[in-house]
Homo-oligomer: A and B are copies of this chain.
């Protein structure tokens, strides 16, 4: 009975005309299951029930690719569709032009999952630097596929670690969302960086002086707490050489620096 009442509408992107921003509505997200028992007491379930584990591939949404490409049961990484996507790759793209009134366009986009290990109990932090490099290379490869779609304007890679961070599955994974719009917070940051460049002739990220806020450094990256952090434990990883896109990163640098 309750099942019959579950909302089954397609995702849509609604215009908030007061704030002049777009808000993503995704009824399907509320249907996704969780293997965390409770947010206040996150006890990952037994791996025999986990669809992200090796041997359970048939319980997942379609696979996009795996690493190594020619592996069978011995895969190391799988990139798959999200079974409960926030946006839908099956909808037609509608250009979200600015109109007066209550406007909504289809929630077109791609929402993928990167399973970072075939083993349930292995976290990203348990992997070797070379293995973490392979995960990042899988993200890079998928971004390059997504950006070949003309309607896609922005791709975000993110990882929720633990139930209180928003994760619903305890098996180590990242997610990727590709959208037909650039989110306002991102375009505001790009505008701000362009303004800084016009004023100083420099990139504001390259211009950061880590000083006492430095956490670690390697040949190609530095990691630090930003001077005006907005969250506790906020950390930025910045390439030493100016680089504007994650997917343009050198594969060798990625593997060598994932420490």
Binding site for B on A (CB under 8 A): 14-23, 39-40, 100, 102, 188-189, 191-193, 195-196, 199-200, 204-205, 209, 226-230
Whole-angstrom distance from the CB of A196 to the nearest CB of chain B? 6
Among A102, A195, A199, which residue has the most Cβ atoms of chain B within 10 A?
A102
Given A18-B193, A40-B40, A23 contacting B230 (CB threshold 8 A) = yes
Interchain Cβ contacts under 8 Å between A and B, 24 examples: A14-B227, A16-B226, A16-B227, A16-B230, A17-B196, A17-B204, A17-B228, A18-B189, A18-B192, A18-B196, A18-B204, A18-B205, A18-B226, A20-B188, A20-B191, A20-B192, A20-B196, A21-B192, A23-B229, A40-B40, A100-B196, A100-B199, A100-B200, A102-B209
**A196 proximity list for chain B (CB < 8 A):** 17-18, 20, 100
**A209 proximity list for chain B (CB < 8 A):** 102
**A192 proximity list for chain B (CB < 8 A):** 17-21
A15 touches B228 (CB 8 A): yes
CB nearest to A227 among chain B residues: B102
CB nearest to A232 among chain B residues: B30
**A15 proximity list for chain B (CB < 8 A):** 228
**A200 proximity list for chain B (CB < 8 A):** 100
Whole-angstrom distance from the CB of A159 to the nearest CB of chain B? 21
**A191 proximity list for chain B (CB < 8 A):** 20
The docked-state distance in angstroms from the alpha carbon of A195 to that of B40 is 44
**A189 proximity list for chain B (CB < 8 A):** 18-19
Given A19-B188, A189-B19, A195-B20, A14 contacting B100 (CB threshold 8 A) = no
The docked-state distance in angstroms from the alpha carbon of A226 to that of B20 is 13
User: Out of B102, B195, B228, which one reaches A16, CB within 8 Å?
Assistant: B228
B100 touches A23 (CB 8 A): no
**A20 proximity list for chain B (CB < 8 A):** 188, 191-192, 195-196
